[in-house]
Structure formats: structure tokens, C-alpha cells
Amino acid sequence: MSYSNMKYTLIILALLLIGSACKENKQSIREIHVYFDLDSLLDEQVYTLADRGATLNKIVKMNGETESRSMEPDTTVWKEEFSVIRDFNLNRPFYVGLFQEHKEENIISYQSSDEDVAVKKFDMFYEDGELMRIESLLQESKYIYSNERKLTLEFQDGLLKFYQLDGEQKMILQDKEDYVVSGSISVQ
């Protein structure tokens, strides 16, 4: 085999190895339900709010500027709206066993002090057995950025009525950006 052919063979083998290493691990995409199932709650809200013709009044504040809009989202738009909320999901394979659960009369709280876990706390507030409010804190710190987000979800009669994402992000060599995204939801 010539040097040129050997070089191409090694390149192809390297690409095959890299490609096989990038395949998704089937275990990582398997659904688990160890903790509160935020994804299922959001999926239910997406279809219920779309079916009931809910109106969303959304306000975005970023670096001193405010933008607002009102809309009647379909399921696709609701899914997009809630996609950032899904970052607070506790049911990830690598989170299993990393949260401590605390129960009080009307509060269930999950907390983690593990530095590899982005969601640091996840609190659910109940009234007469009905979920009324969720508050959560997410903190990430990598070499090039740090990110902190606080989530609030408020429910009435089983429907999401209000959400707010309050965050700040700092990228290396850039100023810190503060933002607040809130949505008020009304159903006729």
C-alpha cells in the first residue's frame, strides 16, 4: 500500500471512529420519571391552551429595552414558548440521585449542590392538593460563560396563567446581560 493510500485509509478510519462516537446513546434519550415530570406538565399545557384558544401577552425586557406583544398561539408556538422552560427538567439520566427531596405541608422541594447539575432548586407549591406555583433556579458556569435563570410558573384551575424567566448571562470579554421574559395567559 502506498503512503498516499495509507493516509486516506487512516483518514477514513478516523472519520468512522468520530462518527460512531457522535451517535446518540439510546440510554440517554430514554425517558425517566424519578422526579417531578415538568415535560409532561408542559406537553399537557401546550395542547390544552391551544385547544382553548388561550391568549398570551408576552413582555421581554433586555438591557433596559422592553418589547411586548399579544398573540393566540397554536401548539407549535406554545412548544417554542415553553422550550426554554424545559431546561429546568429534573428527569435527565445524569441527574438521577443528585437531588434531595424535602416535603412540607404544601411544598415539595428538590435541591442539588452538585456543581455538574444546572438546576439547583425546584420548588412546587400546592393548595388543596392542586399545583399552584413552581419556582426554580438554574445556574451554569463554564469557561466562556456563566448563566443564572430563575423560573416562576403560576397555575389556576390546572392551567398555566403566568410565567416569568428572570436571568443574567455573562460571556467572556462581554458585558453582563440581564433579561426578564414574562407571559400572562388568559382563556375565554
pLDDT tens, per residue, the chain with 188 residues? 555 555 555 455 444 445 444 433 433 445 567 788 999 999 999 999 999 999 999 999 998 899 999 999 999 999 999 999 999 999 888 888 899 999 999 999 999 989 889 999 999 999 999 999 999 999 998 888 899 999 999 999 999 999 999 999 888 888 888 999 999 999 97
Give the C-alpha separation, 122 to 20, whole Å: 36
Give the C-alpha separation, 163 to 185, whole Å: 9
Residue 143 has a pLDDT of 84
pTM for the full model?
0.80
Residue 31 has a pLDDT of 58
CA distances (Å), 141 to each of 2, 96, 162, in order? 49, 21, 28
Give the C-alpha separation, 14 to 7, whole Å: 11
Give the C-alpha separation, 65 to 1, whole Å: 65
Three-class SS of residue 48? helix
Residue 35 has a pLDDT of 87
Residue 83 has a pLDDT of 95
Q: Which long-range contacts (CB under 8 A, 24 or more apart) does 98-105 make?
A: 99/35, 101/35
Residue 6 has a pLDDT of 53
Grid cell listed for 104: 412540607
